[in-house]
Structure 1
């Protein structure tokens, strides 16, 4: 008896006797509402509801459910009772394959942001590694013998695979803990006091996998079919551990080789799918979804169903693709290419958003807190920033400004460098945040970008440029900050559509404002294009951006017009929603700068513009804007123009253009060519980020009718 020696008494019989009585004033109500009359407490069924006279809705809302998982994770119903787990239970080869595949499925769920207690820790062998170690339990070897179930499958193969699994989780945990992803937002760091083999060297885990692979390859105790399947799974685990323990910036060849090899092993695993285990198979007992009851955790127990074998393989393939992309990015020194890839991963629905581990690894590959790409200092970064923006590096700008300075005080070059330091590396890391956090970072940083623009404007105004030609880059120095800032503002506005933040009545203004931002961006590009020398990648990129942004502006104008019927005419509601949605553009810090903000969101301008759009005063109809956008985008496809910084991601950038063409095709003809809104029902529009992150589509029935 618990408490023996302290004069405690067992009261179980007392409660049992009390529960046998009948409560005449109590009504037992079934799930369908049937009144079952007075009852004995012993007759209550699981998940039943007991209601008493005078029991109100408020009482129900204040009640605590007995056995509620957050309050009583120790409640065990009959269906959850399991026989004791014996780690030394012998397994068939096919059962071991099933266990390894299910463990891999749970690993993908951990990378997706679930708790270890609900995924990896449900594999009971994680908690019994010592029990299957032949060096610790040598007597077990002589006690168990079954020709179809070799003991080595457990003590050598399974043990090595579990060690490799835990070590991969350890590598992932270490990377995620560096701050590239956010605990409880992107991933869950709670280990529940279960070791992830933190003290085991990676080389030792790899040697154990090699030993298991060698045994599988040479044994005659396993049929050929399952030898191939088990060996493929061990090789896949080895490749995963190798690539996750290799720094791509320090061991480029080893990292890329491990990724390519892992993809080959994954294909072999896919060709050897497991068979379904019977309900009475000992493999079914290898996982306990309620293991959280026995762990040191305050996390409510939640059963996470593992994905299917096909879904798991697809997810692992995306994982390797992300790792391969990190290896390719590590070789790229162009900032605009990093910007492009970060944007594409947010804007393209395929492939899906990279898992937090990949996004964190990408950030630390770019900047580890000391060096950029593990070899460049901040001075290199500043030079690269200006060279890729206006065609001249920062060292030349600084020397020229110092020699031509006319201001009373010293040129604010240190202040400029401080702003650059605060902006550039955090900006490129933010490209791989999750979409909501990326948007929040941009909203906070946009005022600092305006501060950079203000400093560059002061430098230009106090530098003698009278003897320089009008197309000299120094004349366009402030535009360097504006180009980046306007691109960020455009991203903030359109990402609000992608994240489904806007109410239906807010979308028209969002599209209209995005068009205004793009218009200012195009004006700057038109002014800067003659300044940049032809033949440079920056000139090719500007030419491409002018065409793409013109098409995007046309689509925004068309979308603003066709969503106008969704607007509300309640001015108080519209005004409050406007200032809440665009509060990032009205921060008090803007008053500290001399330069006025560029393209501030203004509701009164939009209201006046609505009048002109409705009357069709010198404005193209939605159909005309859509046709213009499609013509420009088709031209980019026909000429295979992907800009100057696309590089290895030219195919992905072209896919972005094709997706915009699909938007044009879907919206073409709606509303009518006359531009009259009365012929079009805006409620037929549907926003689906899986179709396109920014623009609406028309339901199939409506599209068919319009066709």
Structure 2
């Protein structure tokens, strides 16, 4: 990379001065034989190359245009720095790093730190002696060649580990992630231990040096230790040693307290610290993405983002000690072990134990005793069960997993049908195996429906059907839970979970029905508009693979039933939308007042109660719904407002005070 940005005199720019010659006729004559709208292609000349030949004056696309405010002087990586200036550089780099984690590109965030591109020059062995002689005592060279170099190496290695994890596709929300590294090294070949050792050397020098005051020594050392700790957290296996992992989180939080108590001051206007960043660096990197200058968040917003990062690791640390599928709802699977410690057999055992409250061995023994042949159907069923562990983006993953759940439901139906033929009583707990799969499948369908509200995917016309469909799915789910309540052991956590879920789903069904009725007038029964939108929104339910499964699907959307459902509602003079919401609020309030959600919530019982509180608030926002179906004609559906910041699933009735 060039060390300087050269200012080109205006008179030498194309189109300026006295030597401009109009070449329009040259191009006109050359293209005379071409037909209008035709193209001429050359070997090895792409459309991108052709577009790159134009200087169109658009700052985001024009690689030759640099606005005056973005022009930077020559950058010298060996310019001495004060400790407080270095603190400011490290903090600003943290800001850009958090912006990368939030979804921006490396070329627009982390790579704007110019020391990254001159890292090899920060080497004591190759520094010219004359530079060592000219260093100001208040700006010791170790700040650059030891402290800053180690910190930049730690930053790049953290980015490398994050990049590797994202590239595996093993985390949620990677759809918009850009993997472009612009041919800039993230120290891929450098061992993590070497980088940690460099950070430790920098920390030790800061601890012992007397070249500047203790205030900035501590401030810089806290930032070095935080960087080292974040790197260690990214490398550590939380499942192998959760207690060590937790100690790293605690150490990082201690450093955050020190950093907040020693904020870096804004450098003076003449400070060379400002030259350490080039927001337009993407112009000089190998990238195919237009330039975007990312605003730098405030220091407090940056530290809040780092806190959120630590909170996420804290949650993982707690989850690593919770060996419950119902708590996780999904699991880390590396192709060999689940949660890095359990075999696939553990998953099957936990699945049935947590849903039915009995050991899997009981199920196996019962099936073997009543199965007519020597070939057990259980291995096939277990293989199907394992398919839901695949890890892509959550909502899309849930929609795709519904087919696998249906296959499991079909397999369990075949097993119980055969067991019934061989005299297993209908009230035996093993006969509820199909409902076990159906419960998990209906839970996934419910989340697919409601998460679309949270993601603001539905148009106004689609929302009434979504609420009606949710109510139908909840009805099926409640029917499954009713069947399980009769057979699941009363003293088990599974029974407590089913009781909690039954009350919660009853409340959700009531408020979903009330919302459907209240916004029913938003529906359009124009076939040409409804059907395409319906099949596009619920395409997951119409995969051709469903035709290969004998058992009919349960809980799939049925558009043809909507018209009759609307007619039934209008004829039900006893139904009260407001009354249904009041019933929902009463059920939820009762669950909150119990003080414990029971079941499999474990350490997250408080979070579950907060979820209930939020639903109670949603009920309060719907107190203005009509009291009866007769009042629907006078109800202004325009007062229903959906705002994910108020509640992710349900609207509220806007009052005159709200509108003002």
The answer to whether the superposition gives a TM-score over 0.5 is yes
Given candidates 389, 403, 419, the residue that maps to 2:369 is: 403
Q: 1:704 to 1:85 in 2, by over 3 A?
A: closer
Q: Deviations over 1:32-89 (max 9, x none)?
A: xxxxxxxxxxxxxxxxxxxxxxxxxxxxxxx977134565323334333221101111
Contact 2:395 2:451 in 1 (8 A): yes
1:82-481 equivalences in 2 (<5 Å): 82-137=72-127, 139=129, 142-181=132-171, 185-339=175-329, 366-406=332-372, 410-423=375-388, 425-426=389-390, 429-430=391-392, 433=393, 438-464=394-420, 468=424, 470-481=426-437
Contact 1:240 1:262 in 2 (8 A): yes
Residues 487-496 or 385-394, more deviating: 385-394
Contact 1:141 1:151 in 2 (8 A): no
Contact 2:327 2:601 in 1 (8 A): yes
Q: Take 1:584 and 1:145, find their aligned partners in 2: how far apart are those partners?
A: 66
Q: Does 1:585 align with 2:548?
A: no
Q: Which consecutive residues of structure 2, in runs of 5 or more, have no partner in the other structure?
A: 1-10, 24-52
Q: 1:13 to 1:90 in 2, by over 3 A?
A: closer
Q: Take 1:400 and 1:700, find their aligned partners in 2: how far apart are those partners?
A: 60
Match in the other structure for 1:357: none
Contact 1:411 1:459 in 2 (8 A): no
Contact 2:357 2:493 in 1 (8 A): no
Contact 2:372 2:422 in 1 (8 A): no
Q: Does 1:534 align with 2:490?
A: yes
Q: Does 1:691 align with 2:646?
A: yes
Q: 1:581 to 1:174 in 2, by over 3 A?
A: closer
Q: Take 1:586 and 1:166, find their aligned partners in 2: how far apart are those partners?
A: 45
Q: 1:151 to 1:22 in 2, by over 3 A?
A: same
Q: Deviations over 1:541-578 (max 9, x none)?
A: 00000011111111101110111122224232123322
Q: 1:276 to 1:404 in 2, by over 3 A?
A: same
* Local SS of the residue matching 1:192: coil
* Local SS of the residue matching 1:126: helix
Contact 1:565 1:682 in 2 (8 A): yes
Q: Take 1:69 and 1:181, find their aligned partners in 2: how far apart are those partners?
A: 34
Match in the other structure for 2:550: 594
Match in the other structure for 1:5: none
* Local SS of the residue matching 1:180: coil
Q: Take 2:657 and 2:568, find their aligned partners in 1: how far apart are those partners?
A: 28
* Local SS of the residue matching 2:638: helix
Q: Take 2:525 and 2:551, find their aligned partners in 1: how far apart are those partners?
A: 34
Q: Take 1:315 and 1:703, find their aligned partners in 2: how far apart are those partners?
A: 32
CA drift at 1:626: 0.4
Residues 76-85 or 160-169, more deviating: 76-85
Q: 1:672 to 1:532 in 2, by over 3 A?
A: closer
CA drift at 1:316: 0.4
Residues 539-548 or 214-223, more deviating: 214-223
Match in the other structure for 1:49: none
- TM-score normalized with structure 1 length: 0.83
Contact 1:490 1:514 in 2 (8 A): yes
* Local SS of the residue matching 1:129: helix
* Local SS of the residue matching 2:598: coil
CA drift at 1:182: 7.9
CA drift at 1:675: 5.5
Match in the other structure for 2:515: 559
Residues 513-522 or 489-498, more deviating: 489-498
Contact 1:169 1:196 in 2 (8 A): yes
Q: Take 1:14 and 1:115, find their aligned partners in 2: how far apart are those partners?
A: 32
Given candidates 610, 613, 627, the residue that maps to 2:569 is: 613
Q: 1:14 to 1:335 in 2, by over 3 A?
A: closer
RMSD of the alignment, in Å?
2.6
Q: Take 2:397 and 2:172, find their aligned partners in 1: how far apart are those partners?
A: 13
CA drift at 1:251: 3.0
Contact 1:684 1:702 in 2 (8 A): no
Q: 1:14 to 1:305 in 2, by over 3 A?
A: closer
Q: Does 1:568 align with 2:524?
A: yes
Match in the other structure for 1:544: 500
Contact 1:522 1:549 in 2 (8 A): yes
Q: 1:310 to 1:282 in 2, by over 3 A?
A: same
Match in the other structure for 2:34: none
- TM-score normalized with structure 2 length: 0.88
Q: Take 1:140 and 1:506, find their aligned partners in 2: how far apart are those partners?
A: 73
Q: Which consecutive residues of structure 1, in runs of 5 or more, have no partner in the other structure?
A: 1-10, 24-62, 343-362
